[in-house]
Amino acid sequence: MTPLDKAHIALRPASALDEPRRRQFLGQSISALALWGLGGLGFGVRPRAWANAFEPLVVDNATWRAWLSDAAYEVLRDEGTEPPRSSPLDRLDDPGTYVCAGCFLPLFSAEHKYDSGTGWPSFWRPLNEAHIDTKKDFKLIWPRTEYHCARCKGHQGHVFGDGPEPTGQRWCNNGVALRFIPAGEALPALRQAPQSS
The residues binding Zn ion (CB under 5 A) are 100, 102-103, 105, 149, 151-152, 154
Q: Are 169 and 7 in contact (CB under 8 A)?
A: yes
Report the residue number, 126 or 154, with the smaller CB distance to Zn ion.
154
Instruction: Please report how close the Cβ of residue 158 comes to Zn ion at its closest, in angstroms.
Output: 17
Q: Is 172 a catalytic residue?
A: yes
> Looking at 103, 149, 152, 172, which residue is catalytic?
172
Report the residue number, 58 or 62, with the smaller CB distance to Zn ion.
58
What is d(CA 38, CA 34) in angstroms, rounded to the nearest whole number? Answer: 6
Instruction: Please report how close the Cβ of residue 179 comes to Zn ion at its closest, in angstroms.
Output: 10
67 phi/psi in degrees, rounded to 5: -80, -35
Report the residue number, 4 or 100, with the smaller CB distance to Zn ion.
100
Measured at the CA of 190, the angle between CA 129 and CA 122, to 5 degrees, comes to 40
Instruction: Please report how close the Cβ of residue 174 comes to Zn ion at its closest, in angstroms.
Output: 13
Amino acid at 144: R
What is d(CA 25, CA 12) in angstroms, rounded to the nearest whole number? Answer: 11
Beta partners for 106? Answer: 99
Report the residue number, 19 or 55, with the smaller CB distance to Zn ion.
55
What is d(CA 4, CA 160) in angstroms, rounded to the nearest whole number? Answer: 6
Instruction: Please report how close the Cβ of residue 76 comes to Zn ion at its closest, in angstroms.
Output: 8
Beta partners for 113? Answer: 123
Residues carrying an active site annotation = 172
